[in-house]
Amino acid sequence: MPEQARGKSGLLYSADELLQALRSVGPRRPLLEELLPAPDAVAVTADARAYVSARLPEPHDLPAIPLTSYTLYREYARTGSRKGYEGPYFAKRQRLCQAVLLAAFVDDNALGHVCDYVWDICEETNWVLPAHEQVKIDLFSAETALILAETVRLLAEQLPDEVSQRARDEIYRRVLDPFRASTDDLWWYEGTNNWNGVCSGSVGATALHLEDDETLLAGDIASILHSLDAFLAEAFCDDGTSTEGVSYWHYGLSFYVLFGELLRARTGGAIDILAGEKMRKIAHFPLCMTLSPGRFASFSDCVETAAFGRGFIARLAERTNTPELLGLLRPDDNNRAAAIRLPMALRELYWWNGHCAEPPAQPSAYLPDGEVARLSAMAPSGAPLVLIVKAGHNAENHNHNDVGSFILHAAGETLLCDPGPPDYTREFFSPTRYDNVYANSRGHSVPVVGGRLQSPGPEYRGEFVETDLEASRLVIEFAQAYDAPELKLLRRSWELRKSGQRVNALTITDLFDLAEPAHIEEALVSRLPMHCQGNELIIEGERTRVVATCGSSPDAVWEIEPLEESPLRAGQERILHRARLAFGMPAGRTVVEILLQLSPA
């Protein structure tokens, strides 16, 4: 196949080419051991058993199988809540992960638990979550197929034949056969977000583990690569940006890497979907979005604290020659990614050598395709300070109406935030999504124009017009983010002011050009305690104190509004607060300057 026919990302192969590649190394399936990067990997050291057992309960301490009942399954249809069913659903798979690791590396007595969990999962009426019931294969049914496939492969000599065969039968019935029958009704196939990476990667890896017929396998892999070609081309900008944010970058890409490494091993290196310059840029993305160790910009539905699979990060760092990625791994992290997913746990053992690196210093950066810019500096205390700004448009993956939103983070805490996601419910993924303060622009540090919030849609957007990283100055134009005919121009600039090497202030300047008079609100959003003192807004961080004033209107008085309709997501301790300044603006050009003075708390 000529190179120009390889698709957008060069991943397209015919079934005949794949069949030849599969046969070139003999009729076998790759075992995980064949993917070891070096002889000192954890799985082949004398510490392997201790490493696993230190993280897991004793076999007799494994709790009873969680109940995934009909009533819990239908709770989503009744109320829109996802937690009732998803809690035991994921707990069951997490405990299967624990039992498999115990049986494989520590104690054969855990094998009975493995059999019980595998059998119970096979008894479930549906592997698809209630929230995704309209899709015949969703994220978690695809993941479940892979979990069971790797259980069967890892414990091939230990599992009773009837348990192994039951798992294989259900994997084919629920996932592989429906995938082969048609991809037309799989919205994620050739999709442009994390669903494609997770579903395609899981289905492809499952087929590599289980399918003995090389002709069928070649057809499966050709179809999977066709889908992943779109994922690599469209889910990531040319500069490596994922508009879904770091947590979804990790989720979708980890299964892409998992599948890619199995395929590379199975074809003797003939097919390598991790090669290329774009993959290196994609690998670098979370470094650009780092606020401080373990914390990342929370634009869209991305959470601020991401749980990385250590094996995934180690392998991606190695394959893309991006060793600084290892600085994302924290030695004190309990690694939730490996704790709940067997494929991630196994790759932590096989791909990670047990070492972490120092967090890399991240300089200021601009991602022109993703339309995100980062300014790195030094806080008044001498600790790192980061300002991250986004432009873009209001139809991105997991979109929030947040053009012009920004995050100010200093000394390890977020002073001004982007709210990230709420707990997921039916309503949040419905036409009423933008009634939610997390998704609409009222929950972000952006203006309200003539009573109007920003509008959803690709035509509502902003763009950087200046990115002077050396001078610590950023400027965007984003009047087009509002459906406000009277708004002719809205240009916002951010500038870090320094005393010596340390930042002592941030100036935010908005230039409005109005065709007619309008009411304008400026806003700052934070989860930290806020209070007013005269014309000053004071934000009390544990390590940094912010005092905000309006330099262009010194008598303007802040009002603080608790956004009580923003219930706390798991792990959050404080609700959002929105501080606002209200102005009646005349027609023509008006400048509003907000000065944020920073000092050690």
Task: Specify the pLDDT at position 1.
Answer: 41
Give the integer Cα–Cα distance in Å for 479 and 512.
9
Which H, E and C letters describe 310-321, residue by residue?
HHHHHHHHHHCC
Return the ∠ at Cα 360 (arms to 357 and 362), rounded to 5°: 165
Q: Which of 163, 175, 54 is nearest to 115 (CA)?
A: 163
542: pLDDT confidence band, cut at 50, 70 and 90?
Answer: very high
Q: Which amino acid is at 57?
A: P
Identify the structural domains of the chain with CATH numbers, from first to last.
3-351 (1.50.10), 365-600 (2.70.98.70)
567: pLDDT confidence band, cut at 50, 70 and 90?
Answer: low
Q: Which of 561, 524, 566 is nearest to 421 (CA)?
A: 566
Whole-angstrom CA distances from 416 to 393, 434, 537 are: 21, 21, 13
Tokens of 552: 């262009």
Return the ∠ at Cα 448 (arms to 444 and 451), rounded to 5°: 135
More confident residue, 306 or 453: 453
With a CB cutoff of 8 Å and minimum separation 6, the contacts of 486 are: 449, 450, 514, 515, 516, 518
Tell me the average pLDDT across 408-437: 93
**Range in 155-164, 265-274, 334-343 with the lowest mean pLDDT:** 334-343
Tell me the average pLDDT across 82-104: 93
Give the integer Cα–Cα distance in Å for 200 and 219.
14
- Give tens-digit pLDDT for 76-87: 999 999 999 999
Task: Specify the pLDDT at position 356.
Answer: 83
Q: Within a 13 Å sphere around the CA of 469, how many CA atoms are in the beta-carbon half?
A: 15
How much is the mean pLDDT over the chain?
90
Residue at token pair 């003075």: 597
Tokens of 257: 């890497």
Q: Which of 249, 363, 400 is nearest to 313 (CA)?
A: 249
Beta-carbon count within 10 A of 241 CB? 24
Task: Specify the pLDDT at position 391.
Answer: 97
Phi, psi of 235 (to 5 degrees): -75, -15
Q: Which of 505, 511, 546 is nearest to 527 (CA)?
A: 546
Torsion sign over Cα 443, 446, 452, 456: negative
More confident residue, 44 or 157: 157
Q: Which amino acid is at 160?
A: P
Q: Within a 13 Å sphere around the CA of 581, how many CA atoms are in the beta-carbon half?
A: 25
State the burial class of residue 254 (Cβ atoms within 10 Å of its Cβ: 0-12, 13-18, 19+): buried
Task: Specify the pLDDT at position 39.
Answer: 44
Tell whether the model's pLDDT for residue 47 goes beyond 60.
no
Tell whether the model's pLDDT for residue 389 goes beyond 50.
yes
- Give tens-digit pLDDT for 478-498: 999 999 999 999 999 999 999
249: pLDDT confidence band, cut at 50, 70 and 90?
Answer: very high
DSSP, residue by residue, 573-595? -S--EEEEEEEEEPSEEEEEEEE
**Range in 177-191, 352-366, 490-504 with the lowest mean pLDDT:** 352-366
Task: Specify the pLDDT at position 49.
Answer: 64
**Range in 26-35, 102-111, 489-498 with the lowest mean pLDDT:** 26-35
Give the integer Cα–Cα distance in Å for 350 and 359.
23
Task: Specify the pLDDT at position 42.
Answer: 52
**Range in 60-69, 144-153, 164-173 with the lowest mean pLDDT:** 60-69
**Range in 32-41, 197-206, 232-241, 333-342 with the lowest mean pLDDT:** 32-41
Contact predicate 217/25, CB 8 Å: no
Phi, psi of 407 (to 5 degrees): -130, 130
Phi, psi of 549 (to 5 degrees): -135, 160
- What is the percent of the chain with per-residue pLDDT over 70, rounded to a whole number? 92
Tell whether the model's pLDDT for residue 336 goes beyond 60.
no
Tell me the average pLDDT across 340-363: 85
With a CB cutoff of 8 Å and minimum separation 6, the contacts of 13 are: 1, 6, 21, 221, 222, 225, 271
Tell whether the model's pLDDT for residue 252 goes beyond 70.
yes
